[in-house]
């Protein structure tokens, strides 16, 4: 991370040179490699990548919710003074829901199908807010009202299957924000929702965290969506953060060939189909021994050293970092 990105205070979240593998029957999968980033208070960071790039695993690692098959040979994640990878499950459970919260894609299945949605919000409050049952109920209804669920007293008693996908996602946001966490991790929160609902949900997430001065990590495959809502964007490719910087810098003058290709392949902003760029090849097989740069097979700017030298971290301007030997 460039020194300029550091402020005087300690960042809310620091991921430092994180390496993460999955042990599977068909070999070790090198899911994440050398991930470093920081997140300040009140900031919205987008992590953008194709499926299989490791962006969701990174989100789960931040929550300390890793699969037992995951191994972390190097690096760490510090959130609000805690090491999220080494703390006990009990301590992490205290933190989750209170200081760090998460929302998921497909909100209908993310909620318990046979428990009233209000009760699920209430469960979180009872666990973390040290309140009576009655008080928790009142506060749960308030939380539902804050996410603009119409008629929250009545909806408190609804089951997830009685609500639309958009409303379920609002309930999830209400649950996540019930205890005013410092950080909200949103893992593809609008996948599967209609575009109009997506806009409503994203507005809601943004407004909620802004008013609580919380931070967001938005995991998404949609660069345009990240562009509209995030302050900064990190582009992840095959377990590497290839470029990270302010949204303007990333979209206006991308430095990594992959970022540029990604922007070129996003349908919005093109006048004709002929302008639509493609990205050749696909993600490398993460079970193999990988070259230092994992984009090398898809890159038209590769140099000889790309296959040999470890990835550089080139700072461009104050808050823009690219990991490429031959940036644009």
Partner 1 sequence: MIRFLRIAGKRLLGAVPSLIGVIIVTFLLSHALPGDPAVLFAGPAADAASVAQVRAHLGLDHSLPQQFLTYVWQLAHGDLGQSLTTGQPVMTDLLQRLPASLELTLVALIFAIGVAVPLGIWAATRPNSWIDHLCRGTVTVAAAFPTFFIALLLVYVFYFLIPLAPEPVGRLNDVYFDAPTTITGFYLIDSILEGNWQTFGGALAQIILPAISLGLFALAPIARITRAAMLQSLASDHVRTARACGLSRRRILITYALRNAMLPVVNVLGMVFSFVLGSNVLIEDVYGWPGVGAYAVKAVISSDYAAVQGFILMMAVLYILLNLVVDLLSMVVDPRVKFEG
Partner 2 sequence: MSAIMEAVRLVKRYPTGGGMLHAVDEVDLAIQPGESVGLVGESGCGKSTLVRLLGRLIEPTDGAIVFEGQDIAPVPLRRFVHDTARGRIQVVFQDPTESLNPTLTVFETVADPIRRLGTAGDRNALAAQVRKAIALVGLPPEMETRLPHQLSGGQRARVGIARAIALRPSLLILDEPTSALDVSVQAVILRLLADLRSELGMSYLFVSHDLNVVRLLCSRIVVMYLGKVVEEGPTEALFRDPRHPYTRALLASIPNPARRGQTPWRLEGSASSPIDPSPTVCRFYGRCPRQEDACAKTMPALRAVGSDGVHRAACHFAEETSA
Which spans of this chain sit near partner 2 (rule: CB under 8 A)?
A: 50-51, 148, 150, 164, 166-167, 194-200, 202-203, 207, 221-225, 227-229, 247, 251, 261-262, 264-270, 272-274, 276-279, 282
Number of residues counted as binding partner 1 (CB under 8 A): 31
Asked if 248 touches partner 1 (CB under 8 A), the answer is no
Q: Which does 176 bind (CB under 5 to 8 A by kind): partner 1, partner 2, none?
A: partner 1
Question: What span, in angstroms and rounded, lies between the C-alpha atoms of 247 and 68?
Answer: 35
Span of 9-17, 86-94, 190-198, 213-221 interacting with partner 1 by CB under 8 A: 86-94
Query: Which lies closer to partner 2 via its Cβ, residue 13 or residue 226?
Result: 226
Smallest distance from the beta carbon of 36 to partner 1, in angstroms? 24
Residue 289: is it exposed, middle or buried by C-beta count within 10 angstroms (0-12/13-18/19+)? exposed
* Long-range interactions of 220-223: CB distance < 8 A, separation 24+: 220/46, 220/47, 220/48, 220/188, 220/190, 221/48, 221/49, 221/50, 221/51, 221/188, 221/191, 222/48, 222/266, 223/48, 223/251, 223/262, 223/263, 223/266
Asked if 235 touches partner 1 (CB under 8 A), the answer is no
- Give, as ranges, the residues between 46 and 65 that touch partner 1 (CB under 8 A): 63, 65
Query: Which lies closer to partner 2 via its Cβ, residue 76 or residue 166?
Result: 166
Q: What would the DSSP string read from start to end of 203-265?
A: HHHHHHHHHTT-EEEEEES-HHHHHHH-SEEEEEETTEEEEEEEHHHHHHS--SHHHHHHHHH
Q: Which does 279 bind (CB under 5 to 8 A by kind): partner 1, partner 2, none?
A: partner 2
Query: Which lies closer to partner 1 via its Cβ, residue 63 or residue 306?
Result: 63
Cβ distance 229 to 42 under 8 Å?
no
Smallest distance from the beta carbon of 116 to partner 1, in angstroms? 8
- Give, as ranges, the residues between 158 and 197 that touch partner 1 (CB under 8 A): 159, 161-162, 172, 175-176
**CA distance from start to end of the chain:** 20
Asked if 88 touches partner 1 (CB under 8 A), the answer is no
Asked if 155 touches partner 1 (CB under 8 A), the answer is no
Residue from 157, 165, 154, 118 nearest 137 by CA: 118
Query: Which lies closer to partner 2 via its Cβ, residue 125 or residue 205?
Result: 205
Question: What span, in angstroms and rounded, lies between the C-alpha atoms of 305 and 326?
Answer: 10
Smallest distance from the beta carbon of 102 to partner 1, in angstroms? 4
Tell me which H or E stretch contains 155.
Answer: helix 152-155
Which tokens sit at 327? 């940036």
Smallest distance from the beta carbon of 104 to partner 1, in angstroms? 7
Q: Which residues bind partner 1 (CB under 8 A)?
A: 63, 65, 89, 92-98, 101-102, 104, 106, 109-115, 123-124, 127-128, 159, 161-162, 172, 175-176
């Amino acid at each position: 991370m460039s020194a300029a990105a550091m402020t005087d205070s300690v960042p809310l979240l620091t991921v430092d040179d994180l390496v993460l593998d999955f042990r599977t029957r068909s070999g070790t999968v090198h899911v994440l490699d050398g991930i470093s980033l920081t997140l300040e208070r009140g900031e919205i960071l987008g992590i953008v990548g194709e499926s299989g790039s490791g962006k969701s695993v990174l989100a789960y690692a931040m929550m300390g919710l890793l699969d037992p098959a995951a191994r972390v040979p190097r690096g760490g994640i510090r959130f609000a003074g805690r090491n999220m990878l080494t703390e006990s499950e009990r301590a992490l459970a205290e933190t989750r829901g209170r200081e760090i919260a998460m929302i998921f894609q497909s909100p209908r299945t993310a909620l318990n199908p046979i428990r009233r949605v209000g009760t699920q919000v209430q469960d979180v409050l009872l666990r973390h807010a040290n309140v009576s049952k009655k008080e928790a109920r009142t506060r749960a209804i308030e939380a539902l009202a804050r996410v603009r669920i119409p008629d929250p007293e009545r909806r408190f008693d609804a089951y997830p299957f009685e609500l639309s996908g958009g409303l379920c996602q609002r309930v999830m946001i209400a649950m996540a924000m019930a205890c005013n966490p410092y950080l909200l991790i949103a893992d593809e929160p609008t996948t599967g929702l209609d575009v109009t609902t997506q806009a409503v949900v994203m507005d809601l997430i943004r407004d909620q965290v802004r008013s609580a001065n919380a931070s967001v990590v938005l995991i998404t495959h949609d660069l345009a969506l990240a562009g509209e809502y995030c302050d900064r964007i990190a582009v992840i490719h095959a377990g590497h953060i290839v470029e990270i910087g302010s949204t303007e810098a990333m979209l206006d003058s991308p430095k990594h060939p992959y970022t540029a290709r990604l922007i070129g392949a996003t349908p919005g902003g093109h006048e004709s189909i002929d302008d639509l760029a493609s990205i050749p090849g696909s993600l490398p097989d993460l079970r193999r021994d990988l070259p230092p740069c994992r984009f090398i097979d898809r890159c038209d700017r590769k140099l000889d050293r790309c296959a040999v030298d470890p990835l550089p971290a080139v700072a461009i301007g104050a808050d823009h970092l690219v990991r490429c030997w031959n940036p644009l």
